[in-house]
C-alpha cells in the first residue's frame, strides 16, 4: 500500500514539475523546434562535415551550424529585412500615397453604370483606399511583428542547432531509455518524424522559396511597387496548399491593369509569367523532393495546414501536417496492439507457467 501511495505522489510531483518546465520553456519551444527541423534537413551535410573532420563532432557541429546560417538565413534575411521596412512604410502611411486607385474607381463606376446602378466616383475611390489600407496595414503589421519576435529566438535556435548536431544522438538515446514505449514504436515514431520533416518542410520550404524568388523577379520586371514585401508574402502563401502565390500575384496584376501609372502590357505579362513559370515550379520541385514520402490525402493536407496556422500561427504550416501524420502513425500502432491482444493464444502460450 505504501508503495502505491509513493508512486501516486511521485506521479503528482512529476506532473507539477512538467507543467512548470513547460511554462519556463514555452517561449523557447519554437526556436528549438526549428533547430530540430534544420538538423534533419541538413543531416547529410553534417555527416559529410563529420567525415571531413575525422570524427571531431563538436568541430563539425560548429562548421555545420555556420554553413547552415550562410546557406539559409542570409538569403532569407536579404529578402525579409527590406520587406519589413516596406511593411512599416505601409502601416505608417509613408508610401501608401503611391497607390492611385482612380482607374479602378472609374472602371467600377462604368461597370455599375452598365448594370443600371449609379455610383459616385469620388466615393468609390475613397472606399477603395480605405478598404485596401484596412487590409494591407494589419497584414503588414502582423508580418513585421512576427519577424520581430522571431529575431529574439534566433540566438536560441542557433545555440540549440549546435548542441543538437553535437549531442543529438545521445539525446535521442536518453529519451528512448526514459520513454515507456516499446523500442520498435519509438523507432517507428522517429522514422516517421524524419520522413514527414523531409516531406513537409524540405519540399514546402524549397518550393515556396523558389516560387517567391521567381514571383519577385516578375514583380520587378513588371514594375510593381513593394517588390520585397510582395516577394515575402508570395513565399508565405506558397506554403498553403491550393492557395499558393495566386493570392499575391493576381491582385498585383489587377493593380497594374487598373492603375493609371500601370500598364496593360505589364499586367498581361505578369499574369502569363506567374501563371506559367511560377506555378510550374511548384509542380516540378515537390514531386522531385517527395518521391511518395507524404501519404496524406490532399484534403487532409490542406485542412491540417489551415488548422495549424489558425492554432499556432505561421509555424503551423509545418506542425499541422506533422501532427496529422503522427496521429496516423499512433493509430496504426494502437491497431497493431489491439490485433495482438485479440489473437487467440497458441498452445505453447496457453500452458501454465508451473505445470503440476
The pLDDT tens digits for 246-289 are 888 888 888 787 766 667 888 888 889 988 888 888 777 776 76
Which residue's C-alpha cell is 524568388? 213
Mean pLDDT, rounded, for 284-305: 68
- Highest-scoring range by mean pLDDT, 115-119, 148-152, 192-196: 192-196
Q: What percent of the chain has pLDDT over 90?
A: 6
pLDDT averaged over the chain?
A: 76
DSSP letter for each residue of 175-197:
HHHH--S-HHHHHHHHHHHHHHI
* Rg (the chain; Cα; Å): 27
pLDDT of 321: 77
Q: Residue 195: its pLDDT value, please?
A: 75
Q: What is the pLDDT of residue 48?
A: 92
Q: Quote the CA–CA distance of 343 and 351 in Å, as a whole number.
A: 16
Exposure string of 170-201, with b = 16+ CB inside 10 Å and e = fewer, is eeeeeeeeeeeeeeebbebbeebbebbbbbbb
Residue 115: the pLDDT is 63
Lowest mean pLDDT among 2-11, 37-46, 119-128, 268-277: 119-128
Q: Is 120 left (phi over 0), alpha (psi -120 to 50) or beta?
A: beta
Whether the predicted pLDDT of 354 surpasses 50: no
Strand boundaries in the chain, DSSP class E: none
- Mean predicted confidence (pLDDT) in 47-54: 90
Is residue 63 pLDDT above 90, yes or no? yes
Q: Grade residue 91 by pLDDT with cuts at 50, 70 and 90.
A: low
- pLDDT class of 64 with cuts at 50, 70, 90: very high
pLDDT tens column, 200-240: 777 777 888 888 889 889 888 888 877 888 888 888 888 77
What per-residue confidence (pLDDT) applies to 248? 87
Output 105 or 239, whichever has higher pLDDT. 239
Q: In angstroms, how far is the first alpha carbon of the chain from the final one?
A: 32
Quick one: average pLDDT of 138-160?
69
Q: Give the containing element (helix H, strand E) for 13.
A: helix 2-41
Please tell me the least confidently modeled range out of 143-152, 172-181, 315-324.
143-152
Amino acid at each position: 500500500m505504501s508503495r502505491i501511495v509513493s508512486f501516486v505522489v511521485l506521479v503528482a510531483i512529476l506532473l507539477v514539475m512538467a507543467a512548470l518546465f513547460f511554462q519556463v520553456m514555452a517561449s523557447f519551444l519554437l526556436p528549438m523546434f526549428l533547430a530540430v527541423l534544420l538538423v534533419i534537413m541538413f543531416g547529410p551535410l553534417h555527416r559529410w562535415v563529420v567525415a571531413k573532420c575525422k570524427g571531431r563532432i563538436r568541430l563539425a557541429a560548429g562548421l555545420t551550424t555556420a554553413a547552415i546560417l550562410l546557406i539559409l538565413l542570409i538569403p532569407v534575411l536579404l529578402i525579409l529585412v527590406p520587406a519589413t521596412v516596406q511593411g512599416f512604410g505601409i502601416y505608417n502611411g509613408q508610401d501608401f500615397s503611391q497607390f492611385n486607385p482612380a482607374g479602378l474607381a472609374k472602371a467600377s463606376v462604368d461597370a455599375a453604370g452598365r448594370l443600371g446602378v449609379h455610383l459616385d466616383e469620388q466615393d468609390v475611390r475613397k472606399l477603395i483606399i480605405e478598404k485596401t489600407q484596412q487590409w494591407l496595414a494589419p497584414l503588414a503589421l502582423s508580418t513585421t511583428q512576427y519577424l520581430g519576435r522571431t529575431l529574439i529566438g534566433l540566438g536560441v535556435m542557433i545555440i540549440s542547432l549546435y548542441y543538437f548536431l553535437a549531442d543529438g544522438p545521445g539525446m535521442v538515446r536518453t529519451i528512448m531509455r526514459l520513454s515507456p514505449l516499446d523500442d520498435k514504436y519509438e523507432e517507428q515514431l522517429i522514422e516517421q518524424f524524419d520522413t514527414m520533416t523531409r516531406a513537409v518542410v524540405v519540399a514546402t520550404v524549397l518550393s515556396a522559396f523558389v516560387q517567391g524568388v521567381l514571383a519577385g523577379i516578375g514583380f520587378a520586371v513588371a514594375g510593381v511597387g513593394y517588390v520585397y514585401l510582395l516577394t515575402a508574402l508570395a513565399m508565405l502563401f506558397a506554403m498553403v496548399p491550393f492557395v499558393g502565390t495566386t493570392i499575391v500575384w493576381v491582385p498585383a496584376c489587377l493593380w497594374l491593369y487598373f492603375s493609371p501609372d500601370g500598364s496593360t502590357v505589364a499586367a498581361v505579362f505578369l499574369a502569363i509569367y506567374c501563371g506559367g513559370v511560377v506555378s510550374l515550379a511548384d509542380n516540378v520541385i515537390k514531386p522531385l523532393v517527395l518521391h511518395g514520402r507524404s501519404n496524406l490525402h490532399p484534403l487532409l493536407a490542406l485542412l491540417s495546414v489551415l488548422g495549424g496556422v489558425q492554432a499556432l500561427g505561421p509555424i503551423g504550416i509545418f506542425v499541422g501536417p506533422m501532427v496529422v501524420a503522427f496521429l496516423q502513425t499512433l493509430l496504426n500502432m494502437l491497431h497493431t496492439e489491439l490485433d495482438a491482444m485479440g489473437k487467440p493464444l497458441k498452445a505453447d502460450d496457453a500452458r501454465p507457467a508451473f505445470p503440476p
